[in-house]
C-alpha cells in the first residue's frame, strides 16, 4: 500500500497564484528506468530546483502519467527520488491526486465527479474488446504489468504488418467512438517495460487524457499557455506538448515521437528538463 511510503518523501508547499506550471510525463521523461550515479545526481538537481521554485511561490508542477499511483510511488522509492509533486494525474489523466502540504494525498473530487457522469465502464470496454475479436479478428491482450483502474483499461495490440496495423488501429478507434468513450493508442516503449513490436491501447472516458489534464490545471491555477511547460518522451505525450506553448520532448525520446515533433531538450531526462527550464524561465524574468 503506497500510503505507508509517501510519508518518507519531501512535499512541496501550496502555491496559490503560480507564475508558471510544469507538466511532466513520468516514465522515461522525469524518471529514467536505468538510474546510475550520474542520472541520480541530475534528478536531485531537478528536485532541488523545483522545490526552490515552489517555496518562492513561483511554480506548480505535476506528473501526468499512464501509470497508477501505486506504480509511481514504487518507482520513486526504488529510484531514490525524494520529492513529491503538487499533483499526480495518474492512469492516463483519469485520476488526480494532490500531494502539497495543505492538500496531502487528496483526490480531485470535481474531476472524479465529472467522470462519474460519463458512459465509461468495464462492461462497455469488455463489449468493445469482444466485438473486435469476434467481428474483425483483432485481438487485444490485457495488460498486467501496470494494472488498470476504474477509468482506464489497458491492453496490448501486437504488430502484424504496416497496412494491416493501420487498418486495425483505425477500427479500434472507430469502435471506441461508437460506444462513446476515448482510446489512446501509442507505440510501446521497451525502455519503460513494455514489449517490443506492440502498441499500448488504453480505453478511457471522453474528456480525459494528458491534454485534458493540462486544460484543467491551467484553468484551476489561472496560468496561461505561454507560462506553461510540458515534457514527454513518446507519441503518448504529443497532445500534452501541443497544449502548452513550451512543450518539449526530452533528448532520449522515441524515434516515433521525434518524427512528429521537433522541439527537443538539450540533454536527456532530468538534465534536459532542467536545462530548458533554466533557460526559458530566466528569459521570462528578463522580459
* 3-class secondary structure, 202: strand
- Angle of helix 122-136 relative to helix 162-178, nearest 10 degrees? 140
Cell numbers given for 78: 526504488
Cell numbers given for 56: 518562492
Cα 140 to Cα 31, 121, 135, 178, 241, distances in angstroms = 28, 17, 13, 18, 28
177 annotated active-site:
no
- Burial of residue 179 (CB within 10 Å: 0-12, 13-18, 19+) is middle
Alpha carbon distance 223, 221 (integer Å): 6
For 132: left if phi > 0, alpha if psi spans -120 to 50, otherwise beta; the answer is alpha
Name the DSSP class of 241. H
Alpha carbon distance 161, 145 (integer Å): 25
Alpha carbon distance 100, 110 (integer Å): 18
Alpha carbon distance 38, 263 (integer Å): 24
Alpha carbon distance 186, 167 (integer Å): 15
Catalytic residues: 25
Amino acid at each position: 500500500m503506497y500510503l505507508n511510503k509517501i510519508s518518507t518523501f519531501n512535499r512541496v508547499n501550496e502555491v496559490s497564484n503560480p507564475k508558471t506550471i510544469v507538466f511532466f510525463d513520468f516514465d522515461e521523461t522525469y524518471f529514467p528506468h536505468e538510474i546510475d550515479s550520474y542520472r541520480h545526481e541530475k534528478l536531485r538537481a531537478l528536485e532541488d530546483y523545483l522545490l526552490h521554485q515552489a517555496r518562492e511561490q513561483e511554480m506548480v508542477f505535476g506528473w501526468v502519467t499512464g501509470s497508477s499511483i501505486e506504480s509511481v510511488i514504487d518507482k520513486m522509492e526504488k529510484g531514490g527520488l525524494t520529492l513529491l509533486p503538487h499533483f499526480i494525474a495518474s492512469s492516463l489523466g483519469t485520476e488526480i491526486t494532490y500531494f502539497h502540504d495543505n492538500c496531502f494525498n487528496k483526490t480531485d473530487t470535481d474531476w472524479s465527479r465529472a467522470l462519474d457522469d460519463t458512459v465509461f465502464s468495464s462492461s462497455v470496454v469488455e463489449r468493445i474488446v469482444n466485438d473486435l475479436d469476434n467481428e474483425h479478428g483483432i485481438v487485444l491482450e490485457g495488460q498486467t504489468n501496470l494494472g488498470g483502474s476504474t477509468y482506464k483499461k489497458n491492453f496490448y495490440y501486437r504488430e502484424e504488418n504496416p497496412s494491416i496495423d493501420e487498418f486495425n488501429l483505425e477500427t479500434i478507434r472507430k469502435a471506441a467512438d461508437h460506444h462513446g468513450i476515448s482510446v489512446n493508442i501509442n507505440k510501446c516503449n521497451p525502455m519503460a517495460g513494455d514489449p517490443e513490436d506492440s502498441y499500448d491501447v488504453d480505453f478511457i472516458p471522453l474528456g480525459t487524457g494528458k491534454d485534458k489534464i493540462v486544460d484543467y490545471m491551467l484553468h484551476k491555477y489561472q496560468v496561461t499557455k505561454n507560462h506553461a511547460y510540458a515534457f514527454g518522451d513518446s507519441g503518448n505525450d504529443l497532445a500534452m506538448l501541443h497544449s502548452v506553448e513550451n512543450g518539449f520532448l526530452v533528448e532520449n525520446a522515441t524515434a516515433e515521437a521525434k518524427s512528429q515533433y521537433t522541439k527537443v531538450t538539450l540533454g536527456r531526462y532530468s538534465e534536459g528538463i532542467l536545462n530548458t527550464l533554466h533557460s526559458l524561465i530566466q528569459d521570462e524574468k528578463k522580459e
